[in-house]
């Protein structure tokens, strides 16, 4: 494991011992992970100047780290490019949201409104908060993503080997992902398999939007009604593919847009639900079920709905039991 080190934006030289999880990683990529917010040009400059040393010797960007290597990281001024430290309130929120943790992964109940990572005008997200909470953790990386306004189960890998395995499971559709969505209108009939290819588009305004398009990528969602009335329906949605905005677009395509969806939803329905207390997108990654290998135990994690969403269901007289 890496030795304890201080904040990368501080002024002191840091010495880091490479553990098994970093072994095999290129030194430039390792530094990008350690020096959050640093541009690649800065990384390559300090490598060229010999300010970064491995076992007291100069190395080049393609050098691959070995277990036990001693890496000298020089003092670096990141200035305005440094990632903002998450607020204490956010750190407490993320810490309290952890549902499951072992030596390989962390699964947390991501709050609605918090991005999974910083970027595009967002100073920080879940991954930056978790890294701030675990400064000595040698490896913390997102396994998948959730939209900023979507809450629920989010997996972070604590080992590179776990990240590789989970990406393989995702590609092979061997992770059961179930969502809860409150949609407009009365859902007729039972479960439905929605197969509608999706394509990303950019509007003239620059806004990115996803549409059903025969030329798009294959996308499959399984919709199952849990509670239904003439105003709204609560659905369990299982994903067989993981396209951007897949559930939101498929729901609208079926004539049942998700409550609180400002991009793909129904304005009048959203207003009606706001009057009942809904202040966010009603989409929640409720449950994850998977196993790392065929012989291993299943990991089965459920993220509870926040109280405000339960209150909306109560107002609509839609009974749902966690």
Question: Low-confidence residues of the chain, pLDDT below 50?
Answer: 1-11, 80-83
- The C-alpha atoms of residue 9 and residue 6 are separated, in whole angstroms, by 8
pLDDT in tens, 291-311: 998 777 899 999 999 999 999
Q: In the prediction, which pLDDT does 120 show?
A: 56
pLDDT of residue 79: 53
Task: Kindly give the residue spans of alpha helices, DSSP state H, lying in 39-105.
Answer: 40-48, 88-96
Catalytic residue check, 102: no
Measured in residues, the chain has a length of: 322
For residues 258 and 149, the answer to whether their CB atoms sit within 8 Å is no
Query: Residue 297 corresponds to which tokens in the numbers above?
Result: 């135990």
With the CA atoms of 268, 273, 274 and 277 taken in that order, what torsion angle do they form, in degrees rounded to the nearest 10? 170
Read off the pTM.
0.75
Map tokens 């729901």 to a residue. 251
Question: What span, in angstroms and rounded, lies between the C-alpha atoms of 244 and 282?
Answer: 17
Phi and psi at residue 69, to the nearest 5°: -60, 140
> What is the C-alpha to C-alpha distance for residues 117 and 84, in angstroms, rounded to an integer?
12
Q: How confident is the model at residue 119, as a pLDDT?
A: 60
Catalytic residue among 102, 136, 147, 295: 147
pLDDT by residue (tens digit) across 137-167?
888 889 999 999 999 999 999 998 899 899 9
Distance CA 106, CA 185 (A): 36
Both tokens of residue 271? 């207003």
The residue among 230, 269, 221 whose CA lies nearest residue 249 is 221
For 119, other C-beta atoms within 10 Å of its C-beta total 12
Phi first, then psi: give them for residue 225, nearest 5 degrees. Answer: -70, 135
How many angstroms separate the first and last alpha carbons of the chain? 39
Name the helix (H) or strand (E) containing 270.
Answer: helix 267-274
- Give residue 82's pLDDT: 46
DSSP-derived 3-state class of residue 126? helix
Token pair in block for residue 66: 């070995």
Provide the 3-class DSSP secondary structure of residue 58. strand
CB neighbours of residue 68 within 10 Å = 11
pLDDT at 124: 77
């Amino acid at each position: 494991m890496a030795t304890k080190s201080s904040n990368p934006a501080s002024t002191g030289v840091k010495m880091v011992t490479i553990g098994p999880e970093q072994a095999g990683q290129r030194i430039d990529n390792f530094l990008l992970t350690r020096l959050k917010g640093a541009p690649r040009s800065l990384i390559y400059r300090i490598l060229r100047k010999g300010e970064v040393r491995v076992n007291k010797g100069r190395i080049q960007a393609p050098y691959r780290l070995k277990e036990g290597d001693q890496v000298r990281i020089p003092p670096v001024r990141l200035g305005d490019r440094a990632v903002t430290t998450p607020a204490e309130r956010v750190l407490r929120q993320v810490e309290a949201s952890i549902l499951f943790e072992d030596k390989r992964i962390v699964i947390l109940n991501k709050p609605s409104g918090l991005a999974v990572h910083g970027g595009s005008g967002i100073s920080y997200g879940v991954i930056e908060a978790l890294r701030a909470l675990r400064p000595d953790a040698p490896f913390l990386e997102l396994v998948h993503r959730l939209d900023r306004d979507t809450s629920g189960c989010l997996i972070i890998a604590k080992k590179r080997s776990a990240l590789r395995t989970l990406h393989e499971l995702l590609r092979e559709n061997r992770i059961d992902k179930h969502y809860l969505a409150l949609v407009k209108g009365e859902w007729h009939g039972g479960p439905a398999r929605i197969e509608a290819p999706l394509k990303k588009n950019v509007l003239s305004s620059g806004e990115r939007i996803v549409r059903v398009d025969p030329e798009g990528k294959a996308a499959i969602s399984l919709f199952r009604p849990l509670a239904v009335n003439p105003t709204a329906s609560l659905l369990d949605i299982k994903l067989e593919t993981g396209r951007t905005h897949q559930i939101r677009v498929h729901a609208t395509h079926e004539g049942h847009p998700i409550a609180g969806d400002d991009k793909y939803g129904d304005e009048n329905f959203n207003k009606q639900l706001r009057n009942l207390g809904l202040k966010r997108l009603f989409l929640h990654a409720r449950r994850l079920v998977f196993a790392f290998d065929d012989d291993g135990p299943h990991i089965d994690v459920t993220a509870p709905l926040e109280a405000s969403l339960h209150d909306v269901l109560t107002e609509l007289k839609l009974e749902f039991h966690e």
